[in-house]
Amino acid sequence: MMVAVFATMLLALLLSRVGPPWLAILSLIGCLGLSVGLFLFEIYSPDYGFRMPWLQTMLDISPPGRLT
Protein backbone atom coordinates (compact mmCIF):
# COMPACT_ATOMS: atom_id res chain seq x y z
CA MET A 1 0.00 0.00 0.00
CA MET A 2 2.89 2.36 0.68
CA VAL A 3 4.05 1.74 -2.88
CA ALA A 4 0.75 3.15 -4.16
CA VAL A 5 1.10 6.21 -1.92
CA PHE A 6 4.64 6.92 -3.12
CA ALA A 7 3.74 6.18 -6.75
CA THR A 8 0.93 8.74 -6.73
CA MET A 9 3.22 11.24 -5.01
CA LEU A 10 5.88 10.68 -7.67
CA LEU A 11 3.23 11.01 -10.37
CA ALA A 12 2.11 14.32 -8.88
CA LEU A 13 5.70 15.55 -8.83
CA LEU A 14 6.27 14.54 -12.44
CA LEU A 15 2.98 16.03 -13.58
CA SER A 16 3.81 19.31 -11.87
CA ARG A 17 6.85 19.57 -14.15
CA VAL A 18 5.54 18.31 -17.48
CA GLY A 19 1.78 17.94 -17.25
CA PRO A 20 -1.21 20.14 -16.63
CA PRO A 21 -1.37 21.56 -13.10
CA TRP A 22 -4.91 20.33 -12.47
CA LEU A 23 -3.81 16.74 -13.08
CA ALA A 24 -0.90 17.15 -10.64
CA ILE A 25 -3.27 18.50 -8.00
CA LEU A 26 -5.67 15.64 -8.63
CA SER A 27 -2.83 13.16 -8.21
CA LEU A 28 -1.74 14.85 -5.00
CA ILE A 29 -5.29 14.63 -3.64
CA GLY A 30 -5.27 10.93 -4.55
CA CYS A 31 -2.00 10.51 -2.65
CA LEU A 32 -3.55 12.19 0.39
CA GLY A 33 -6.60 9.92 0.17
CA LEU A 34 -4.43 6.81 -0.04
CA SER A 35 -2.38 8.02 2.93
CA VAL A 36 -5.48 8.52 5.06
CA GLY A 37 -6.77 5.09 4.03
CA LEU A 38 -3.47 3.47 4.95
CA PHE A 39 -3.41 5.25 8.30
CA LEU A 40 -6.93 4.13 9.15
CA PHE A 41 -6.12 0.57 8.09
CA GLU A 42 -3.07 0.53 10.36
CA ILE A 43 -5.06 1.86 13.31
CA TYR A 44 -8.22 -0.23 13.03
CA SER A 45 -6.81 -3.50 11.71
CA PRO A 46 -7.28 -6.30 14.27
CA ASP A 47 -4.06 -8.00 13.13
CA TYR A 48 -1.77 -5.06 12.44
CA GLY A 49 -3.42 -2.27 14.43
CA PHE A 50 -2.07 -0.59 17.49
CA ARG A 51 -3.00 -2.36 20.68
CA MET A 52 -4.60 -0.19 23.34
CA PRO A 53 -4.85 -2.29 26.51
CA TRP A 54 -6.94 0.33 28.30
CA LEU A 55 -9.68 -0.21 25.71
CA GLN A 56 -9.64 -4.02 25.67
CA THR A 57 -12.37 -4.93 28.14
CA MET A 58 -12.68 -8.61 27.24
CA LEU A 59 -9.53 -9.34 29.28
CA ASP A 60 -10.84 -7.36 32.25
CA ILE A 61 -10.60 -9.14 35.60
CA SER A 62 -12.07 -8.23 38.95
CA PRO A 63 -10.47 -5.20 40.57
CA PRO A 64 -8.01 -5.90 43.37
CA GLY A 65 -9.54 -6.11 46.83
CA ARG A 66 -12.89 -7.39 45.60
CA LEU A 67 -13.71 -10.88 46.77
CA THR A 68 -15.56 -13.14 44.37
Domain count, the chain: 1
Predicted confidence (pLDDT) at residue 57 exceeds the cutoff of 60: no
Residue 22 belongs to a domain? yes
Could you count the other beta carbons within 10 Å of the beta carbon of residue 12? Answer: 20
Alpha helices by DSSP H, 1-68: 2-18, 21-44
Question: 13-52 pLDDT, tens per residue?
Answer: 999 999 899 999 999 999 999 999 988 888 887 776 666 6
- Reported as a pLDDT band with limits 50, 70 and 90, residue 1 is confident
User: Which of 4-8, 26-30, 34-38, 53-57 is least confident?
Assistant: 53-57
Burial class (CB in 10 A: 0-12, 13-18, 19+), 8: buried
pTM: 0.66
Residue 51 belongs to a domain? no
Distance CA 37, CA 24 (A): 20
Residue 60 belongs to a domain? no
Predicted confidence (pLDDT) at residue 60 exceeds the cutoff of 80: no
